[in-house]
Amino acid sequence: MIKLSESEWKVISALWEESPQTIMQLTHRFQEETGWTKHTVMTFLRRMEEKGAVHYEEGGRAKQYYPDIQREEAALQETEDFLNKVFGGRLGLMLNTMVESKSLSGEEIEELHEILRRAEEGLK
Tell me which of 21 and 1 has the higher pLDDT: 21
Q: Would the pLDDT of 24 be above 90?
A: yes
pLDDT tens-digit readout, 55-96: 999 978 899 999 999 999 999 999 999 999 999 999 999 999
Q: How far apart are CA 119 and CA 124, in angstroms?
A: 9
Q: Across-strand partners of 58?
A: 63
C-beta of residue 101 within 8 angstroms of C-beta of residue 29 = no
Q: Average pLDDT, stretch 102-116?
A: 92
Q: How far apart are CA 24 and CA 36, in angstroms?
A: 11
pTM for the model stands at 0.80
Q: How far apart are CA 21 and CA 48, in angstroms?
A: 14
- Residue 122's pLDDT band (cuts 50, 70, 90): confident
Residue 110's SS3 state is: helix
Domains of the chain (ranges; CATH) run: 6-67 (1.10.10.10), 71-123 (1.10.4040.10)
DSSP 3-65: ---HHHHHHHHHHHHS-SB-HHHHHHHHHHHH---HHHHHHHHHHHHHHTSEEEEEETTEEEE
pLDDT reported for residue 59: 77
pLDDT reported for residue 60: 82
pLDDT reported for residue 123: 85
Instruction: Give whole-number Cα distances, 30 to 24, 56, 74, 123, in Å.
Output: 10, 19, 21, 44
pLDDT reported for residue 97: 92
